[in-house]
A and B are shown apart, each in its own frame.
Chain A
Amino acid sequence: MDALNSLLDGFGTALSPLNLLWAALGVLLGTAIGVLPGIGPAMAVALLLPVTYGLNPIAAFIMFAGIYYGAMFGGSTTSILLNTPGESAAVVAAMEGNPMAKAGRGSQALAAAAIGHFAGGMVGTILLVALAPTVAELAVDIGAPDYFAIMVLAFIAVTSVLGSSRIRGLASLLIGLTIGLVGLDQMTGQQRLTFGSLQLADGIDVVIVAVGLFAIGEALWVAAHLRRTTGEAIPVGRPWLGRADVKRTWKSWLRGPFIGFPFGAIPAGGAEIPTFLSYVTEKRLSKHKDEWGKGAIEGVAGPESAASASAAGTLVSMLTLGLPTTAVAAVMLAAFQQYGIQPGPLLFEREPELVWGLIASLFVGMVLLLALNLPLAPLWAKLLRIPRPYLYAGIMFFAAVGAYAVGGEVIDLVILLIIGLIGFGMRRYGLPVLPAVIGVILGPNAEQQLRRALQISDGSVTGLVNTPFAVTVYAVIVLLLAWPLLKKAVIRNRVVSP
């Protein structure tokens, strides 16, 4: 029951008046930014990074927890009321939520989503409390070769599980790794790709890369293809649920987390797959099959709960292994590095106040989310009517603030713009953005672990595979890589055999 005691200490941290204020501010800001059309959770977190620069790490991460959950809830509000989801995880919310809103049941759809987020987040965070210390304890003994294997797994998973083209995923990853190389080599101080520039010798700040790819790249991309007629948002009242609706949805709320959480913890694209799986499950179990596609409330409740729980699952691998499985986690990892904190198994030993404060504030944030978002929903819905020129001008503006605040250097703004243009090109030619961000964040780290492992083994490659853990991870990687070939073989067999 060590975890419980630590959690209670965490609540002591999270419930101090000032930290409570940061959590509430995070939830409000996160929801407000997340509701804005075109801004997904990753961009929301990246844009709000500079807000936390002046805070101490604990307050900053408490605020982040609020921003993360708020932005995810905000995204589903947009889907339900606008029916044009910007990020893949919110697609499912639109499938039943938007028909509900059109049929005048928008309040119920929003309530089902909000309570789904609450339930999923609660169950997910409880699982996080139960599992994370154990995972961290198991992982404390892992060494350089194991870390390197995990990072290779992250690289492979992010390029071959997500997106339609592996070549384009790999291209994106290599672009990220190249950006990560810029600067002084951590082990020898050798300058790499700096071309003699002093500014580049410090390396390119991860925050600038994230803001450039997620915010500037997106704003430029939308600007080139701005829809002249924007979709009309459906006005909505205060969310509420009748007894009949609660009776239909409570099981969906509780089922969602068990689909969402495991998928969040592994590098499989975050909430995208589990929300869809939850949707299919709910559809199969539903007693009202005729309503599906026309606004079945279970189709909102289950997937939203799964999405929220997957966010908690993401935090397990992020906090215990330093392995970001989603874009938001990647940005949060960048924030950790900003404070000189390295997430990983030792985090629970070295920074117990921070970790448990963060976890406790997840609970606090969820309660705040529910308490604030139910009454404020009509206000959030109004945000959807913001004129698009203001929206994207605002994104450029805050991206500039964020990049400038990193170090007060004009050159950072120019680098930000260049990376934004790269992000624009990537969107144009279907190169996924996430592998590049993961490459920038994990690349330097992976190189260090690789060199450390080979140093220990005196240059012998066997030093990379001399632990059972590393061997297991490499086996998983081989499976991931071989999967498309296997699938092809299976399909061919099926076609031939009958």
Chain B
Amino acid sequence: MTTQSTGTSPAPATERRSWLRDHSELGVCVLLLVLGVLVLTDALTMDVDIAQRGPVGPRTVPLVVGGGLLVIAALLAVDVLRGGRGQAESGEDVDLSEPADWRTVALLTGVFLGAAVLINPLGFPVAGALLFWGAAFALGSRRFDRDPLIAAVLSLATYAVFNNLLGVPLPGGPLMGAL
């Protein structure tokens, strides 16, 4: 990294930023490293005297997995610094020529969390409809006449099919209590 940032370039800050963007995969290495340390600490702080049966206790495999994570984090870092890049996945509806749309991802994440919080107080039919409508909105659908209707029908139908036909209980909430 030093070669890039200490150069005579007029704008080392932007250069460093673009270097980081090019090597953002190093973030994966950091995450793997953190995960490895987490697994190792958990294994080492384990109180294994309780009931160890056999020569291999509950510690061994976590130690191997944690160690493996550290090794892989290092190997991946070497690969990335040498110019190796993971290939982003393509698909039917995926257009990789444009930069990632983080706003949509953040919106979807928020909508999903919101629905998770609302499912117990409002019941599945309401929370599910909000999830569908919110997600469709985040993905760019702006049909305010049609979207909520589809969401409501889908959510109610799913609730009825799962709860009453398939025997998978879902919380009805106050709405179902009123009906």
Chain A residues in the interface with B (C-beta under 8 A): 37-38, 50-51, 53-55, 78, 82, 84-86, 164-165, 167-168, 170-171, 174-175, 177-178, 181, 185, 187-190, 192-193, 216, 218-228, 230-231, 387-394, 396-398, 400-401, 404-405, 408, 410, 413-414, 417, 421, 424-425, 427-431, 447, 450-452, 454-455, 458-459
Contact = CB atoms under 8 A, between A and B. Distances in A.
B112 A401 contact: no
12 contacts: A54-B162, A167-B76, A192-B58, A224-B101, A393-B135, A396-B131, A396-B132, A400-B131, A421-B109, A424-B105, A430-B89, A450-B56
Contacts of B72: 167, 170-171, 174
B112 A404 contact: no
Interface string B116-146: 1101100010001001111111111100000
Interface string B29-54: 00110010011001100111011111
A430 to B, nearest CB: 3
Contact of A174 (B54, B68, B96, B112): B68
B65 A181 contact: yes
A162 to B, nearest CB: 13
Given A185-B58, A389-B141, 5 more contacts: A78-B92, A408-B171, A413-B116, A414-B113, A455-B55
B13 interface: no
Contact of A188 (B52, B91, B102, B108): B52
Interface stretch (B4-12, B14-22, B78-86): B78-86
Given A78-B92, A174-B68, A401-B128, A50 B162 contact: yes
A225 B52 contact: no
A224 B102 contact: yes
B170 interface: yes
B56 A454 contact: yes
A34 to B, nearest CB: 12
B69 A178 contact: yes
Given A396-B135, A401-B158, A417-B113, A189 B51 contact: yes
Q: Which 8 A-B pairs have the closest CB atoms?
A: A430-B86, A54-B167, A459-B55, A455-B54, A393-B135, A389-B141, A389-B139, A413-B116
Given A171-B28, A226-B93, A414-B113, A165 B131 contact: no
Contacts of B111: 396
A401 B79 CA distance: 40
Contact of A455 (B56, B61, B134): B56
B169 interface: yes
A38 B112 contact: no
A84 B69 CA distance: 35
Nearest to B127: A400
Nearest to B43: A192
A355 to B, nearest CB: 24
Contacts of A424: 105
Given A390-B136, A400-B112, A414-B116, A221 B89 contact: yes
A50 B168 contact: yes
A408 B123 CA distance: 12
Contacts of B133: 393
A171 B76 contact: yes
A452 B54 CA distance: 8
A222 B91 contact: yes
Given A393-B135, A430-B87, A188 B50 contact: yes
A396 B158 CA distance: 14
Contact of B79 (A165, A392, A394): A165
Nearest to A219: B108
A459 B155 CA distance: 55
A429 B86 contact: yes
Given A400-B115, A404-B119, A225 B100 contact: yes
Contact of B95 (A174, A227, A387, A428): A227
Give the interface centre of A190, A392, A431, A455 by most chain B CB atoms within 10 Å.
A190
A234 to B, nearest CB: 15
Given A167-B75, A178-B35, A459-B56, A397 B154 contact: yes
A397 B92 contact: no
Contacts of B132: 393-394, 396-397
B179 interface: no
Nearest to A448: B61
A393 B139 contact: yes
B62 interface: yes
B57 interface: yes
B1 interface: no
